[in-house]
Amino acid sequence: MVDAARARKLADRIQQIVAEMLERRIKDPRLGFVTVTDTRITADLREATVFYTVFGSDAERADSAAALESAKGVIRSEVGKQTGVRHTPTLTFKHDPLPDSARQLDELLAAAKERDAEVAKRAEGASYAGEADPYKKPELDEDEDAPSDRAGYSAT
């Protein structure tokens, strides 16, 4: 087991190396517009999971996943060269569902905002079903201006 700070530094470095490799050295035509979003590494530095997103359709995602799997060995050897660790971690590529979830959440918030606007539009000309101020207030004594409670005691 290593220090968590060292593992995080190594994960960040792996993320940079993988992103550079995808941008410059991997020339697979199946590889779409891939963005490396995060990298996590186990505490023993043996396995690294690289999270990525792909801009495009589900078919383009599948093609990019296949291209990443085929380039895994080249990327791993470059990670080993540039990091200098004794045992180069095994790389696993996983599609990051976070942007899809965020997009779905934005759509739900927009729909809720539309419904709120519709309710506000209906309520524009509406009036109260009862009194405008539904809260009970203490009764005022006729001879005093101070409020009193129900037992007849003065509140002052």
Task: With residue 8 as reference, give the H or E element that holds it.
Answer: helix 4-20
Report the domain count for the chain: 1
Asked whether residue 114 is domain-assigned, the answer is: no
Q: What is the pLDDT along the chain (156 residues), one digit of tens a residue?
A: 678 888 999 999 999 999 998 888 888 888 888 889 999 999 999 999 999 988 888 888 899 899 999 999 999 999 999 998 889 999 999 998 887 788 889 999 999 999 999 988 888 888 777 777 778 788 776 665 555 555 555 555
CATH of the domain at 14: 3.30.300.20
Cut 0.85: pTM above it: no
| Domain contains 95 | yes
CA distances from 142 to 30, 132, 135, 147, 154 (A): 88, 24, 21, 10, 12
Containing domain of residue 18, as a range? Answer: 4-100
Give the C-alpha separation, 90 to 49, whole Å. 8
